[in-house]
Every structure is written in C-alpha cells, then in structure tokens.
Amino acid sequence: MDRRVRVRFAPSPTGPLHIGGVRTALYNYLFAHKHGGDFLIRIEDTDQTRFVPGAEEYIIESLKWLGIEASEGIGFGDGKHAPYRQSERKPMYRDFAMQLIASGHAYYAFDTAEELDAMRDRLKASNVDAKYDAITRGTMKNSLTLSEDEVKRRLDNGDTYVVRFKLPRKEEVKFEDEIRGWVSFNTNQMDDKVLYKSDGMPTYHLANVVDDYLMQISHVIRGEEWLPSAPLHVLLYRAFGWENVMPKFAHLPLLLKPEGNGKLSKRDGDRLGFPVFPLNWIDPNTQELSSGYREAGYLPEAVVNLLAFLGWNPGTQQELFTLEELVQAFSLDRVSKSGAKFDQNKAKWFNQQYVRQLSDEALAPVLFKALEQAELNNSFNEEFVRKVCSLVKEKISFTKEIWEYSKYFFITPKEYDEQVIKKKWTDKTPQLLTDLITDFEQLTIFTQETIETAYQKALAKNEIQGKDFLQLFRVILTGVAGGPPLFEIAALIGKSESITRLKQALTTISK
C-alpha cells in the first residue's frame, strides 16, 4: 500500500526554535521532497500556559531564512487540512476523547493535584514506581472506580476532569522505527497518560495522533526524546482503529553539547560562543538576547549544509551540498542512531566554504553597510569595494568579518603591529622607505607589476633581502601582519595613498 508521502514539522511556540528543531524540520523537508510528497507545518500550542508571544513568527521566519519551505500549514498558506494551529482545532479533540471513552479505551479521572501527589508520595514511600497505571487506577477517583451515577453526577455538576488512556495491562508494544529498527516496550512500564486536560485542551499525545491521522501523515520524523511515548501513540492508533494508516516512525538522534554531556540546550550557545538558534531572539519577559546564526554571520546555505551532516551523511566523499542536492541524496537509512556533538570548528569551515562561493557583487553590500556605519560610504565607489571584496573574500570565514579584515583599504592605518615593527624595523629602514617613496613618485603606471619592480630596485640598492622587509612593508601599508597579496593591495589603494602611508610610517614609526 503505497501512500503519498506527507510529513510534518510540529513545533510548539514556547520560545525560539532550537537548532535541533531546525534539523528536524530540515530532515522532514528533505524526505518530503525526495519522495515528491508534502511537507507541512503544524503548530502544537495545546499548552496555553507556555505560550510565548512572537515564538510562532520566529519559527516561520527561521525556516524561511533557511529556505526550508513548507507546502502547507502555518506561515506557508493553509492547505485543505486547515486550521494548522492546534488551539484552533480545539473543539474536535473532545469528540475523539469521547470516542475512546465510549469504546472503553479511556476513562474520566477526577483526581485533584493533591490526590495525585498523595498517591505518588505513598507509592514512593513503599519503593514502588509512582504511576497512574493498571494497578493504581483502581484506587483513584475515576469512572472505573466510581459508580455510573456518581460519574454522571460529577459531570453534570461541572466538576473538572481529565480523560486518561486505559493502558492494556502487560502488553508488549512493538513497532519498526525507520532509523532504529524494531523497538519494543511493555505497557507495565507505562502509565495511563492524560489525553484530554481539564482546561478542554488535548495533550500532545492525543492531538498529535488525531492530527496526524486527519492530515494523512505518512511518516513521523521527530527527535529521539519522543521515542518513549511512541508506544502510547501506537496504542492510540489501535484504539481508534487507525492502525492500517498509522504513519511510520523515525526517531532522530539528538544534538549534543560539544563537551559531551547532555543535549544541546538554550543556554549552551552563548556560554560556548556559538549560536544554538537560527535567528537572534530577545526573550519578551527578560529581554535577554540569545544569538542566532543569521546575525552571527552564517549563510543560510552553510547552516543547512552543516545541520544536514549532523546525524546524516551521503556515504560519499562529498561534503558540500545545496538544498536541492541534499534532497536528491537524502535517505532515512543513512541517518545515524547515536547523538551528534555540535562542532563549532566544522561549522565555521562550512561557512567559510560558502563565503568563498559568494560573488563580489553579493559581498559588496555587506562591506558597504560597514562603510556606512563608519561614514565612509560616499568616499568609495562600488567598483573599488568589489575589488576589495574579491581580495579579502578568501581570508574570512564570516561575512561580518570583512570590515575588520579590509579596514585598511579605506582608512590610513594609525597603529602598526608592534611585534613586526620590533622584529623587522632596522637602522636601514628609513633610507629604504625614502628610496621607495622616490621610486613610487616616478611611476606613471601604478600596478602590481610596476610596484613590484620599483620595490625590488629599492631593496637591491639598500642591500636588503626581500624576506626581511616584506612583512614590515605590509605593516607599514596596512598596519597588520597578514592579508591578501601586498602589491595588489598597494595597486588598489593607489599611488598617492601608498606614498602617504610610506611617509607617515617614516615620520611616526621609530623603534
């Protein structure tokens, strides 16, 4: 029975979208496109107490920035299964909960929080697993223990209640995970999960199963943290009689902290110096800023690429992939089972690869923006800026670094790398600089070649080895010890600026 592939990414709007969530979205997207199917976004906002304003918009903006576009759902135009926000689907979940009660798969429970606590304390004290299960349910206030009349009375009276799943006793639940193979759980380790809350909202368990069924989801691709509740979901499909259209499950390995312990969390990013969020996020309550990949200077293509490789690989030597290439190469059976630690170095390397692929035209606006901030944007034309970009491009890993690495093209250096001055400046240097100035002044054509010829001539005259002077010359012209080919820099900043800088060095530098 070949079904149309339909997958979903179902985040809850409780804060910024974590990078692990982004990867889940990406894998769903890749899988859908690979099989010519649909990828939809559903917002799981059944916990009203955890709603965070702006989170939903943040999630959508993040996915759009990365090019992970959905074919239907929140943020991408509703399809025929609207609404895609669970809070807006609220009325229907009650019917499904009632259906389960009617068929004997669920029951009403009237226990208060205090009574639940008391039960747990009591069981813990006697060293027994504290859970609402096949055994304890007989001691609690629910429609299994209360008389029919009493239940009716409470319901009519408007008493608050939840609906709990009536877990079959001691049953082995097996399912084949697309990534892990067969996994099995025994219901005696599980508890009667709440399906329908006293506030009239379903829990994740009910809502997710009902919606996946109604939206004809063929594959549930989600994080490993869901693996323990998967058997409950399987049982729910059975209870509803939907087992024949139950989606296949694929539980993704988690993204771990770089130092090894625990899954990557919100706090890690800024502590370790790399983002764990796609975009900057300011907490609406605390005003605390969490940094994002976009603002940190990552290119979306690089983020997609590096994320794809955290937990998956194509089995070939190729590492650089466009989104479209990833779609072609992706398959669930090449997703690994074990958690992946985030590697900042590799992330940087990925970004560097994409920065280099950027055209000068694409990079120029970034530099122009920096020039604007330095109020220098009117002093340089676009052609000049582009040439700077082409020279500096391969020296940077992040686009935002370009200003720092190219400042001296626009501003005459005021400070010089002291170590180089200390090491390379000699008594012979002033005379050499004087000769260099004279020679440069005589040049009518100021290009890389003519500059180099004049440079060699002055060196020979002063009996100085190129090795001993080139780096010093660089520092004199740029202020810093490293950079693109020096004579190209000189040619680009031009004859008069080069001479100005030599003269300045002559008068301001001494050992």
Partner RNA sequence: GGCCCGUUCGUCUAUCGGUUAGGACAAAAGAUUUUCAUUCUUUAAAGAGGGGUUCGAUUCCCCUACGGGCUACCA
Footprint on residues 426-485 left by RNA (CB under 7 A) = 452, 455-456, 459, 465-467, 470-471, 474, 480-485
The binder of RNA chosen from 55, 140, 254, 505 (CB under 7 A): 254
Asked if 72 contacts 84 with a C-beta cutoff of 8 angstroms, the reply is: yes
Give the residues across from 73 on adjacent strands. Answer: 41
Residue 417's identity, in one-letter code, is D
Q: Are 205 and 229 in contact (CB under 8 A)?
A: yes
Q: How far is CA 226 from CA 23, 229, 251, 380, in A?
A: 15, 6, 7, 56
Interactions with RNA, residue window 50-69 (CB under 7 A) = 50
Binder to RNA among 27, 132, 237, 440 (CB under 7 A)? 132
- Torsion angle (degrees, nearest 10) of CA 7, 10, 16, 22: -20
Q: How far is the CB of 378 from RNA (least distance, A)?
A: 26
Give the position of tokens 């180089």.
420
Least separation, in Å, of the C-beta of 375 and RNA? Answer: 24
Pick the closest to residue 268 from 290, 251, 246, 294 (CA basis): 290
Closest to RNA by CB, 129 or 372: 129
Cβ proximity to RNA: between 9 and 39 the closer is 9
Applying CB under 7 A, among 199, 288, 372, 449 the residue interacting with RNA is 199
Identity of the residue, 4 or 256, whose beta carbon is nearer to RNA in the bound complex:
256
Min separation Cβ 480 and RNA, Å: 5
Stretch that binds RNA, among 64-72, 235-243, 273-281, 336-344 (CB under 7 A): 336-344
CA 218 – CA 416 distance, rounded (Å) = 63
b or e along 478-488 (b: 16 or more beta carbons within 10 Å of the residue's beta carbon)? bbbeebbebbb
Q: How far is the CB of 312 from RNA (least distance, A)?
A: 7
> In the 8-state DSSP scheme, what is residue 334?
G
Helix (H) or strand (E) holding 59: helix 55-66
**Residue closer to RNA, measured from CB, 73 or 484:** 484
Closest residue by Cα to residue 211 from 99, 91, 81, 97: 81
Q: DSSP string of 32-55?
A: HHHTT-EEEE-B----GGG--TTH
- CA nearest 297: which of 280, 320, 282, 281? 280
* 428 assigned to active site: no
Does position 267 interact with RNA (CB under 7 A)? The reply is no
Site string for RNA, 205-234 (x = CB under 7 A): x------------------xxxxxx-----
Q: Which of residues 155-184 bind RNA (CB under 7 A)?
A: 160, 162, 180-181, 183-184
| The only residue of 53, 77, 241, 262 in contact with RNA, by rule CB under 7 A | 262
Distance from C-alpha of 477 to C-alpha of 489, rounded to nearest angstrom: 9
Q: How far is the CB of 321 from RNA (least distance, A)?
A: 13
Per annotation, catalytic residue among 263, 266, 348, 395: 266
Looking only at the bridges linking them, the beta strands covering 181-186 and 194-196 are unpaired
Helix (H) and strand (E) counts for the chain? 20, 14
Bridge partner list, 255? 340
- Only one of the segments 137-145, 234-242, 331-339, 499-507 lies at the binding site for RNA (rule: CB under 7 A); that segment is 331-339
Residue 186 or 328: the one with the smaller Cβ distance to RNA is 186
Residue pair 280/291 in contact (Cβ under 8 Å)? The answer is yes
Rule CB under 7 A: which of 484-503 touch RNA?
Answer: 484-486
What six digits make up the tokens of 347? 């992330």
Q: How far apart are CA 340 and CA 312, in angstroms?
A: 10
**Residues 6+ away with beta carbon under 8 Å from 270:** 290, 291
Of 393 and 495, nearer to RNA (C-beta) is: 393
CA 245 to chain centre: 32
Q: Count of residues binding RNA (CB under 7 A)?
A: 88
Q: Which is nearer to RNA, 334 or 503 (CB)?
A: 334
Using the contact rule CB under 7 A, the part of the chain among 5-13, 142-150, 211-219, 367-375 near RNA is: 5-13
- The separation between CA 193 and the C-alpha centre of its own chain, rounded to angstroms, equals 31
**Which 285-324 positions form the footprint of RNA (CB under 7 A)?**
309-313, 315, 317, 319
Give me the least distance between CB of 335 and RNA, in Å please: 8
Spatial distance between the Cα atoms of 37 and 46, rounded to a whole number of angstroms: 27
- Is residue 191 at the binding interface for RNA, with CB under 7 A as the rule? yes
Q: How far is the CB of 127 from RNA (least distance, A)?
A: 8
Site for RNA in 104-123 (CB under 7 A): 111-113, 116
**Residue 421 contacts RNA per CB under 7 A:** no
Interaction with RNA in 370-409: which residues (CB under 7 A)? 394-395, 405
Task: Rank residues 36 and 158 by Cβ distance to RNA and give the closer one.
Answer: 158
In the list 157, 244, 261, 378, the residue contacting RNA (rule: CB under 7 A) is 261
Nearer to RNA, 72 or 191 (CB): 191
Nearest approach in angstroms of CB 40 to RNA is 15
Least gap, CB of 277 to RNA (angstroms): 16
When the beta carbons of 3 and 356 are compared against RNA, the nearer one is 356
Sites for RNA among residues 24-53 (CB under 7 A): 44, 46-47, 50
Q: What is the C-alpha separation between 64 and 365, in angstroms, rounded?
A: 21
Helix 382-392, helix 360-373: angle, nearest 10: 110
What minimum distance in Å lies between the beta carbon of 169 and RNA? 15
Query: Which 8-state DSSP code applies to residue 200?
Result: S
Q: Which sequence positions are flagged as catalytic?
A: 266
